């Protein structure tokens, strides 16, 4: 059967549940790509509320979620690894001062305004997020309020929501690895130096390894690093001290990151957005994370702009999604507001 027929079958596969939204799709893709690139140990488990079609993965692959199922596209079987331009002064990306100014400014703002959190393992981190969606065809807008209670050490069920729908997320199993980390202990182990953070995320690299340099990172590895950084910044609203600033600075070191002015946030404020043109994705495909919008003067993070689709074919609906973190707190019990 031709590849297009196989992909069509996957899209039409009925998983017995509504299609995943983009946030869930992002989580699946991050975890799947992490599993593909893992050198040793058990593959990270894809764990979410909806059933998906399980597919054996062989060779070089790129994965996405379409209509609630995993879709796998075969990559280049030649084994050739393409190198990306190193992030130094000779790189066109690094000469884009506005990108560096925005993300370094965002890191500085975050360091100055961080609210220290020292949650106990038996507590929960409560977050309240506001999401505003606009139907791109009709212009109709709908707002959602998502409230999460995540177990600090991930030993208890967490209550999580996506665009107004909530469910209990079970604790991670002993042999499971997920990205981004949901437990505070694992988050605290991530480097707060941007270069070390990048190396810890790049395939097969760890700080201190021989060839401890960003210049040898391939396009595929940069794509993975961006995907994981975007997942960390978008899906972990509360982090240990120093991690968010480091993630902002690391994001600015990735070739292909660019600044887009005059972007509106969910409150109607005009800011400058940071987005990523992923050379490993098909032309016209939006990389996970969408747009990170910052105040153009203070570089305070204002929120996200992303796209979401629902349905397929003639039933396909495209939405523009704007969101921001309204509040957060550390609480003793799930489903109890601060």
Name beta bridge partners: 148.
127
Is the pLDDT at 17 greater than 50? The verdict is no
Domain-embedded: residue 14: no
Largest CA-CA distance found in the chain, in angstroms, rounded:
57
> What percentage of the chain has pLDDT greater than the value 90?
55
Is the pLDDT at 38 greater than 80? The verdict is no
Residue 200, CA distances (Å) to 36, 37, 191, 303 in order: 16, 13, 8, 26
Domain-embedded: residue 262: yes
Contacts of 70 (CB under 8 A, 6+ apart): 10, 28, 32, 46, 52, 53, 54, 55, 63, 64
Nearest to residue 124, comparing CAs of 31, 241, 238, 27? Answer: 238
> What percentage of the chain has pLDDT greater than the value 70?
67
For 272-295, what is the mean pLDDT? Answer: 87
- Do the beta carbons of residue 68 and residue 20 sit within 8 Å? yes
Distance, CA of 146 to CA of 250 (rounded, Å): 28
Q: Give the position of tokens 């299609």.
A: 19
Three-state DSSP string of 150-214: EECCCCCCEEEEECCEEEEECCCCCCCCCCCCCCHHHHHHCCCCHHHHHHHHCCCCCCCCCCCCH
Query: If pLDDT is split at 50, 70 and 90, which confidence band does 105 have?
Result: very high
Q: Which is more confidently placed, 167 or 66? A: 167
- Kindly report, residue by residue over 175-185, the tens digit of the pLDDT: 877 889 989 99
- Do the beta carbons of residue 301 and residue 291 sit within 8 Å? no
Distance, CA of 106 to CA of 246 (rounded, Å): 10
Distance, CA of 217 to CA of 338 (rounded, Å): 44
Give me the chain's average pLDDT, please: 76
Is the pLDDT at 13 greater than 60? The verdict is no
Nearest to residue 65, comparing CAs of 35, 38, 27? Answer: 27
- Kindly report, residue by residue over 65-81, the tens digit of the pLDDT: 332 222 323 334 344 44
Domain-embedded: residue 220: yes
Is residue 270 classed as helix, strand or coil in its secondary structure? strand
For 202-227, what is the mean pLDDT? Answer: 76
Distance, CA of 131 to CA of 7 (rounded, Å): 31
**pLDDT attached to residue 314:** 86
Domain span including residue 164 = 80-331
Q: Please give the tally of structural domains in the chain.
A: 1
Nearest to residue 29, comparing CAs of 74, 65, 72, 75? Answer: 65
Q: Give the position of tokens 């038996």.
A: 122
Domain-embedded: residue 124: yes
Domain-embedded: residue 38: no
- Kindly report, residue by residue over 245-271, the tens digit of the pLDDT: 999 999 999 999 999 999 999 999 999
Domain-embedded: residue 259: yes
- Do the beta carbons of residue 330 and residue 126 sit within 8 Å? yes
């Amino acid at each position: 059967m031709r590849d297009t027929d196989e992909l069509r079958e996957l899209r039409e596969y009925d998983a017995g549940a509504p299609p995943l939204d983009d946030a869930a799709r992002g989580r699946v893709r991050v975890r799947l790509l992490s599993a593909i690139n893992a050198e040793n140990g058990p593959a990270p488990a894809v764990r979410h509320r909806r059933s998906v079609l399980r597919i054996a993965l062989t060779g070089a692959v790129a994965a996405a979620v379409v209509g609630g199922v995993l879709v796998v596209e075969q990559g280049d079987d030649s084994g050739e690894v393409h190198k990306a331009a190193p992030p130094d002064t000779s790189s066109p990306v690094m000469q884009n001062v506005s990108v560096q100014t925005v993300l370094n400014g965002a890191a500085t703002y975050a360091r100055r305004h961080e609210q220290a959190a020292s949650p106990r393992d038996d507590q929960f981190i409560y977050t309240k997020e506001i999401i505003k969606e606009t139907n791109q065809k009709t212009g109709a807008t709908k707002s959602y309020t998502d409230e999460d209670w995540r177990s600090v050490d991930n030993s208890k069920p967490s209550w999580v929501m996506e665009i107004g729908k909530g469910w209990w997320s079970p604790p991670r199993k002993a042999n499971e690895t997920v990205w981004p980390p949901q437990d505070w202990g694992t988050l605290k182990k991530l480097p707060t130096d941007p270069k070390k953070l990048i190396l810890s995320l790049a395939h097969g690299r760890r700080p201190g390894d021989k060839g401890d340099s960003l210049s040898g990172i391939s396009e595929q590895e940069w794509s993975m690093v961006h995907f994981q950084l975007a997942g960390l910044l978008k899906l972990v609203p509360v982090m240990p001290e120093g991690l968010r600033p480091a993630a902002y600075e690391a994001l600015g070191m990735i070739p292909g990151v660019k600044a887009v002015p005059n972007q509106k946030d969910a409150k109607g404020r005009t800011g400058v957005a940071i987005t990523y043109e992923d050379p490993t994705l098909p032309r016209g495909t939006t990389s996970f994370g969408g747009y990170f919008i910052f105040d153009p003067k203070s570089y305070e993070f204002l929120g996200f702009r992303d796209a979401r689709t629902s349905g397929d074919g003639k039933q396909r609906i495209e939405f523009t999604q704007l969101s921001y973190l309204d509040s957060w707190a550390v609480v003793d019990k799930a489903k109890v507001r601060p």
